Amino acid sequence: MVEAGSPERRWLWPLLVSVVFAHTALNVARPLISYRTIAVGGDAVAVGLVTAAYALLPLLMAVPLGRATDRARRTAWIVGLGSAVLAAGSVFLASATGLVSLALASTVVGAGHLLCMIAGQGLIARFSPPEHLDRDFGWYTAAASLGQLAGPLISGAILADASGPDLLPATSTALWVACAMAVLGTVGILPLVTLRSPTQAGQGSARTVGAREILRGRRMTAALLASLSLLSAVDILTAYLPLIAESRGISPMYVGVLLSVRAATSLVSRLCLPWLLARWSRRSLIVASTAVAGLSLALVAVPGGGPLTLGAVLAAGGFLLGLGQPLTMAEVATAAPEGARGSALALRIWGNRLGQVAIPAAAAGVAGSVGAPGALLVSAAVLFAAALTAR
């Protein structure tokens, strides 16, 4: 059996390997959902509905699954199960030729990702000593960022210039590659299947803790607000930056570079987290992450910014955006009641999913009236509110 407390910390590395492969598979598959919907004759409304199906099961499953991981002594197998479900969802997508089957396949992919996230974060919350919690969550999210960088590059290379009748077979090929990556994620976690907590749920408590009790602490609500505001900000930036760039005469190729710069600096910040925490407190970094990220989105919305200006702003904003997720994971885990870390982390994921629906919906309403910069200003306002709450 792998010892969680060993000096070599052997339990962490198989988890990180699994996370890289699972998130690579996810980020190969997710953009292909839209392309495949178009290939089978779907319009913009169909793309939205099929994409929304991805979050359907996570909203229903997150909190019950978190409670289940709190009660179980072995949970690494759930990470492997999530990767296996992700592989099955990719195959389902590759064989789907109708909008209903694509929506169902998208739901399966979302469920697989949820299983990986809740169980993976739960492992870190359970086995990382308090002094290493922020660092280990930073490495966990850095591994996910690596998958987020690799996935679109793989899918883009496979699709190349495919269009029209060539789009359907090209997406099928890419989805089989996603399946292979997800299978590697399952294989990567196998060394940990016998890893167990020394006591029930690793925390000596088997009682059921409700969402109301978890949310009672001020630290918890502040961390949840910061988490959902940061995650929805990335979605809004990804959705509206192309529109802003087009209005300023910036090419789509450069937009891809800008988004890659944002992702790369987020990865760097997560790797630098131990160094940053040696100098500043977790709360200070959460406040800085949300406030500066909000400022960067507001600056992107300011008219007249050219490519170099946007690159500098997004590099700084990406660095701060990257800090928020691991820090809020650690904050939620430490603020959770005894025996409820898995439930609290699952509630955080549920809140993230809700925020990814509600905040972009509000931003879209504003953008319809005042244009794409208005959507970024809505997200910036939510980030500023999260920064004030975190203080």
User: How does pLDDT run across 287-304, given as a tens digit for each residue?
Assistant: 999 999 999 999 988 887
Closest-CA residue to 322 (of 154, 148, 185, 151): 148
Q: How sure is the predictor about 8, in pLDDT bands with cuts at 50, 70 and 90?
A: very low
pLDDT in tens, 181-204: 999 999 999 998 887 765 544 444
Is residue 274's pLDDT more than 60?
yes
Q: How sure is the predictor about 208, in pLDDT bands with cuts at 50, 70 and 90?
A: low
Is residue 2's pLDDT more than 60?
no
Is residue 391's pLDDT more than 80?
no
The full length of the chain comes to 391
Closest-CA residue to 48 (of 359, 351, 357, 354): 357
pLDDT in tens, 354-364: 876 777 677 76
Q: Domains, the chain, ranges and CATH?
A: 12-202 (1.20.1250.20), 213-390 (1.20.1250.20)
Dihedral angle, C-alpha 259, 261, 263, 265, nearest 10 °: -150
pLDDT in tens, 113-147: 999 988 998 888 888 888 888 888 889 988 988 88
Q: Please list, in sequence order, all residues whose beta carbon lies within 8 angstroms of the beta carbon of residue 103, skipping any fewer than 6 positions away.
A: 49, 50, 53
Phi/psi zone of residue 6: left (φ > 0), alpha (ψ -120 to 50 degrees), beta? beta
The number of angstroms, rounded, from the C-alpha of 81 to the middle of its chain's C-alpha atoms is: 18
Q: Which comes out higher in pLDDT, residue 87 or 73?
A: 87
DSSP letter for each residue of 149-204: HHHHHHHHHHHTT--GGGHHHHHHHHHHHHHHHHHHHHHHHGGGTT---SSGGGTT
pLDDT of residue 302: 86
> 308: buried, middle or exposed (CB in 10 Å: 19+, 13-18, 0-12)?
exposed
pLDDT of residue 49: 73
Is residue 213's pLDDT more than 90?
no
> 212: buried, middle or exposed (CB in 10 Å: 19+, 13-18, 0-12)?
exposed
Is residue 5's pLDDT more than 50?
no
Could you give the percent of the chain with pLDDT greater than 70?
88
pLDDT of residue 358: 76
Rounded to two decimals, the pTM is 0.77
What are the structure tokens assigned to 21, written together?
């492969």
Q: Which comes out higher in pLDDT, residue 54 or 264?
A: 264
H/E stretch holding 96 reads none
Q: Please list, in sequence order, all residues whose beta carbon lies within 8 angstroms of the beta carbon of residue 212, skipping any fewer than 6 positions away.
A: none
pLDDT of residue 344: 82
35, 167 contact by CB (below 8 A): yes
DSSP letter for each residue of 45-70: HHHHHHHHHTTHHHHHHHHHHHHHHH
Mean pLDDT of 358-386: 80
Dihedral angle, C-alpha 331, 275, 6, 122, nearest 10 °: 20
DSSP designation for 202: G
pLDDT of residue 200: 45
pLDDT of residue 19: 94
User: Please, where are the H alpha helices in 190-217?
Assistant: 211-214
Task: Give the span between the Cα atoms of 139 and 13, in whole angstroms.
Answer: 10
Place of tokens 């290379």: 157
Is residue 161's pLDDT more than 80?
no
What are the φ and ψ backbone dihedral angles of 55, each rounded to 5 degrees?
A: -95, 0
Could you give the percent of the chain with pLDDT greater than 90?
21
